[in-house]
Amino acid sequence: MSRGERDEGLKDVYEGPASRPAGGGREEEMPRVLLTRRQIVAFATFVLLVVGFLYFVLPNLAGVGSAVHHLEGGDKWWIAVGVVLELLSFAGYVVLFRAVFVVNAEPSDATARIGWRESYEITMAGLVATRLFAAAGAGGVALTAWALRRSGMAPRLVACRMVAFMVILYSFYAGSLLLDGIGLGVGLFPGGGSFAITIIPAIIAAILCALAGAMALVPGDLERRLGLFASGSRRFRYWMTRAATVPALAASGVRTAIELIRERDPGLLGAPAWWGFDIAVLWAMFHAFGTPPPFTVIWMAYFVGMLGNLLPLPGGLGGVEGGMIGAFAAFGVDFNLAVLAVLAYRAISFWLPTIPGAIAYFQLRRTVARWRHEEHEPPASVARASTGTGTAASALQGS
């Protein structure tokens, strides 16, 4: 299947920068979060309270003593290993982004614009938006989609590819919950665990995989079919077509993800690299503060804890830590060790990308401004031709 066919009739959207406003209309602005002074103060207070509770109050309640003392007493070499592993995780994310949006996309001006530097800026700016704002990562998705549209990629194609990206990324998440949950639940993997912490997450993962598979069965021409079905009324046809847009795009994205996986592009290994190296950071933090539990337990507790990202908290702050610590407690892991390992892990995974991500955000703004300038700048050949014509006209007038 060709790249154009894989994008299900969306090939025409590559013709020219789709986001360029017609007729001098207003250009799409960069997604921003408008915060009042009260919201900023509330956000800062929330972060300080959560960090203070997690790093000072909770360890003391658990009998650990000073959290700062114990965190500083961790093995520096293992902490350094954790930092390196987190950087490799970010690298995997960039590789996956390029595999889905650049390497395996139909060649166009948009894909030619997005090199490694631009890929880094888009992904890191999106990651920091995901970390700092709530709504389960919606801020990062919106920022990434905006940058892709401004590169010249059409909105429908961006939506299709974004769904494919998320399906590939989170298929590893669901697969891990399913495989590790069943393995721990039936005793195939070491670590044990109750039915509630092993089999139930596996059942939820199986349901999610089934829903994604069912989405792939939605006809690619669903909008056209519903339009024909509602041909009697123009208004009814309009609303039926609009209602079919989201499921049609979602189905197209799922099928695109399936085709990309079938092609076995090495760049798709960025998905397991993103998750795997991040889990390895948590594993390294257990080594930094004591003896780690079986890796299968760390694997399961990590993914169960990540469900905290669904809470309406900035970056899942507080929810992820609590979920992971609770999961480790359910597996019988020493509570004090779990607290220190999880807090150290989150200190690396949550805060490490913040500064480079913020820098990438402003770099991305300059990159998009350069793209906008290139769109409005006439090609060099046309400029030379205009100059030559003007020179010839002047010569004729002067003769």
Identify whether 24 is part of a domain. no
105 pLDDT more than 60: yes
Identify whether 34 is part of a domain. no
Identify whether 391 is part of a domain. no
Identify whether 9 is part of a domain. no
Identify whether 287 is part of a domain. yes
Identify whether 25 is part of a domain. no
How do residues 246-303 score in pLDDT, each as one tens digit? 667 778 888 888 889 898 889 999 999 999 999 999 999 999 988 899 999 999 999 9
Range of lowest pLDDT (26-30, 94-98, 101-105, 170-174): 26-30
Q: Which residue has the higher pLDDT, 132 or 31?
A: 132
Measured CA to CA, the distance from residue 297 to residue 189 in angstroms comes to 9
Q: Which residue has the higher pLDDT, 169 or 73?
A: 169
81 pLDDT more than 80: yes
Identify whether 160 is part of a domain. yes
**Average pLDDT, integer, range 41-67:** 57
Q: Which residue has the higher pLDDT, 353 or 219?
A: 353
Identify whether 11 is part of a domain. no
Statement: the pTM of the whole predicted model exceeds 0.85 = no
Other CB atoms within 10 Å distance of the CB of residue 249: 23
How do residues 157-203 score in pLDDT, each as one tens digit? 888 889 999 999 999 999 989 999 999 999 899 888 888 899 999 99
Domain carrying residue 233: 50-379
pLDDT at 122: 92
pLDDT at 215: 76
Under the banding of pLDDT at 50, 70 and 90, the label for residue 354 is confident
Mean of the per-residue pLDDT values of the chain = 75
Under the banding of pLDDT at 50, 70 and 90, the label for residue 395 is very low
87 pLDDT more than 80: yes
Q: Which residue has the higher pLDDT, 81 or 347?
A: 81
392 pLDDT more than 80: no
For the record, the structure tokens of 83 come out as: 């930092």
Q: Which residue has the higher pLDDT, 259 or 378?
A: 259
Measured CA to CA, the distance from residue 262 to residue 254 in angstroms comes to 12
Q: Which residue has the higher pLDDT, 107 or 89?
A: 89
Amino acid (1-letter code) at residue 299? W
| Total domains present in the chain | 1
